[in-house]
Chain A
């Protein structure tokens, strides 16, 4: 719970700093500025590292489990 509160506080502080208006979002709207710009690369990499390492997750929930680990 402490971590969630910390997360929310961080967001609140950052939100207070941001003054970007809709008409200033030309760069942010570019596909290259997407949080996950290469979705297939990301999915394939997640699968590789899930099968070779003991950590997983971070970016979202769901996704197929696998007998590889």
Chain B
């Protein structure tokens, strides 16, 4: 009896402490969220690539509010204004090259030794997403349902998602399961090109056969978030994704070369460039691991992602943020990211004339080749009165590509003498402002 009483007493103190702690944490949380107010985060990002390539100006704003007990509504709006020039898939040559614009009307000429860029690239994207979070079943489980719409003049994406989370183990473990479905439609300028058909001389025809194409992407994710100790949190996610439908980039071509690596001469109205073709399905798996660790004052956030798919693209990503606390809640946050990927099995820098009509798939899109991306950045954030925060961020990105072609090895002839995949440099400048309203 005495033992039982003692046990009950201990349990009681323990429960009271737990409740007191929760109350304290909730108080801290509600102070941070400023009661019934909307929590607003906003930012303006400028992304700019060197050599007059893509420049993007991207304002973004998100708002979140508690709509009832443990129920939250969030909404996010992104605008994305893009201008500049983007690689068209063909490679540099020892002689000048003339290309037809995607519309089929008009042309542009690229000087000898220059990387072919289509300088008509411009686009404005509007993306809107919203989500609702609330408890389900009991107070240990939550569900988040969301929807998103993204619209460009030649592309539309519609998606829905649902995430179920359940806490276990004194809320030290959270399991999650999520499902997302996206339906995308592309309506390219000048219509959808016929795979492996030649780009034609401007005004002579287009080799295009339909106005639009579509694809569906289904994502499944299972995750575990675990409190490791008082200062460490760890997350593991396993992602499975399946895409089906039109996966080509309708604006990308491949240079057609002969066995010596020399670009073919135009034949009639056919230019020596053919439109790419990719498989109409793709199955991807990702493994994601993240650790957040609190030092005496500072916080380390380290993540690793492994990605593999049935196009033979395997990639590794390491991402590290170190939050260095300054006085008064301000902080400096250096950021390093390293990414490396292998080439898709059908990636090639150019295509042999004997392979046109024989090869099932081929693409010279540099993003499907072997590449590495290195990012170094720094963020400074300064809180001020009324739970407001101003932040500035600068990042430098360098992307390097392999010139060796997995299909034909080192390129020969004209292509071999050119710097066909020069490194890409880009920088990001961002200003952020968070407040309650």
Q: Which residues of A are interface residues toward B (Cβ below 8 A)?
A: 3-4, 7-8, 10-11, 14-15, 17-18, 20-35, 37-41, 43-45, 47-49, 52-69
Contact = CB atoms under 8 A, between A and B. Distances in A.
Interface in B15-55: 17-18, 20-22, 24-25, 28-29, 32, 41-43, 45, 47
A30 B50 CA distance: 39
A5 to B, nearest CB: 10
A61 B179 contact: yes
Contact of B180 (A17, A24, A61): A61
Contacts of B337: 45
A38 B377 CA distance: 14
A53 B339 contact: yes
A40 B391 CA distance: 11
| Residue from the set B148, B234, B367, B368 with the largest chain A CB neighbour count within 10 Å | B367
Contacts of A31: 32
Interface size class of B (residues with CB under 8 A): 35 or more
Nearest to B282: A54
A19 B362 CA distance: 54
Contact of A15 (B169, B223, B313): B169
A20 B172 contact: yes
B83 interface: no
Summarize B's interface: helix, strand, loop or mixed: strand
Given A23-B18, A39-B62, A18 B373 contact: no
B123 A67 contact: yes
Nearest to B20: A23
A11 B287 CA distance: 14
A37 B242 CA distance: 29
Nearest to B154: A67
Contacts of B170: 20-22
Nearest to A62: B161
B239 interface: yes
A24 B230 contact: yes
B21 A55 contact: no
B428 A48 contact: yes
Contacts of A63: 129, 148, 159, 180
Contacts of A30: 294, 299
Given A7-B224, A49-B373, A57 B236 contact: no
Given A35-B292, A66-B150, A57 B18 contact: no
